Amino acid sequence: MRRAALVVAGAATLAAGTAAHASAAPPADGGTYTPQVVGGTQAAQGEFPWMVRLSMGCGGAMYTDQLVLTAAHCVNGTGNNTSITATYGVVDLQSSSKVTRQSTYVYRNPGYSTSAGGDWALIKLASPISGAATLPLATSTAYDSGTFTVIGWGAATEGGAQQRYLLKAQVPFVDDTTCKSSYPSMKTAVEICAGYPQGGTDTCQGDSGGPMVRRDGAGNWIQVGIVSYGQGCARPNYPGVYAQVSALSSAIATQAAQLGGGTTPPTGTVFSSSGTVTIPDLGTASANVVVSGISGNAPSALSVSVDIRHTYRGDLVVDLVAPNGTAFRLKNSSSSDSADNVIATYTVNASAVAANGTWKLRAQDVYSGDTGYIASAKLTF
Ligand code: ARG
């Protein structure tokens, strides 16, 4: 359906690059480093759905639908703060389907400026991003090893410009002893390092506050680090240093509970769709969510988180279709609802159907004009 008039006049865009991160010195040691997150590739839309860009030139991750976890060094202090814009749901910061929220309050870990350290802060958004993807935190050291994925819109070369498109890269764990030999004042209790001995791949200025992640035993993303600091970017023998989430997660959870105002991530096993599915004009699209290993029937309060990007959401009828074909209506069409996107969490009583099998989030476009895509569907059993 076509809009009568343009509804949103360009809200403040997050132009790449802020003065604070505009420049950095070349490598003092005159060494070589591979220019090019550095050494990364572009992330796909929906690949890291909980990723957030913050307007001061940092990254962050959705911890609840109203709290963003970032680095302490990205914020000035604790207190009311309406100056930060968070951008969610896009890899392209100039995309018209981005979702933005202003901050309302910032909590900066008071221990950060002490010898205890801990480079983390929580930003409370003025209103929740209902249905937002959230990133669980590592609560033990079980995942503090292996290969990590880092993500951000920061510089792609040391001293380089901020990026319009989200970049990702993989970096291996570096043990504390090795890391301390590069950074003698590194705080092993609350910091974790990652990078190749030869350099070439790293986070960089503007990636701070963003998450370092890996897959947990069930194959889901889990946050193990927060981008904190490094000597230059991607230099040989200077890994990136990250706040060690496993050592900080209980303090973060306690503070998040006090800040309130957000829905904490539902507990249970989460199953997600993968990739995006185009919704053609006047067509139907389905995103599959494969559920396995759950005994018996689905819950009576099955949580269904939907992220559909569309330029006229009133065009859409959205159903959850169970493996046995039972359809649960999540949303009807409405010729007058011209707003963008369906980003919401629904609860359906699915206790009459078996849990295991392929569930489908189905979107039917019933009015001509306007198109979109299913970015993600997430079921919590
Ligand atoms: N402190 C930097 C920032 O504000 C992040 C530095 C990360 N550097 C590194 N070499 N891993 O964006």
Q: Which residues of the chain have pLDDT under 70?
A: 1-36, 261-268
Strand partners, 107: 122
CA dihedral for 89, 207, 20, 70, sign (positive or negative)? positive
pLDDT at residue 180 in the model: 98
pLDDT given at position 33: 36
CA 20 to chain centre: 23
User: DSSP assignment, residue 117?
Assistant: -
Is 337 known to be catalytic? no
Give the residue, out of 38, 207, 231, 233, with the most ligand 1 atoms within 8 A of its beta carbon, to mutate for a pocket test: 207
The candidate with the shortest Cα–Cα distance to 218, out of 172, 271, 173, 171, is 271
Question: What's the 37 CA to ligand 1 centre distance in angstroms?
Answer: 10
Q: Which of 74, 183, 205, 237 to mutate to test the pocket of ligand 1 (most atoms within 8 A of CB)?
A: 205
Residue of 182, 208, 272, 305 with catalytic role = 208
Distance set, CA 127 to CA 81, 122, 152, 260, 262 (Å): 14, 14, 24, 12, 9
Question: pLDDT, tens digit, for every residue of 75-104?
Answer: 999 999 999 999 999 999 999 989 999 999
Asked if residue 206 lies in contact with residue 200, where contact means CB atoms within 8 angstroms, the answer is no
CA–CA gap between residue 77 and residue 65 (Å, rounded): 22
Domains of the chain (ranges; CATH) run 41-259 (2.40.10.10), 270-380 (2.60.120.260)
In Å, what is the CA distance from 88 to each residue of 60, 102, 222, 225?
Answer: 10, 11, 18, 19
Is residue 319 within 8 Å of 350, Cβ to Cβ? no
The residue whose C-alpha atom lies closest to atom 6 belonging to ligand 1 is 229
The residue type of 303 is: S
Q: Would you state the pLDDT for residue 261?
A: 63
pLDDT digits (tens, 9 = 90+) for 116-133: 999 999 999 999 998 888
- On whether the pTM is more than 0.85, the answer is no
| pLDDT on residue 267 | 56
- Separation CA 54–CA 355 (nearest Å): 38
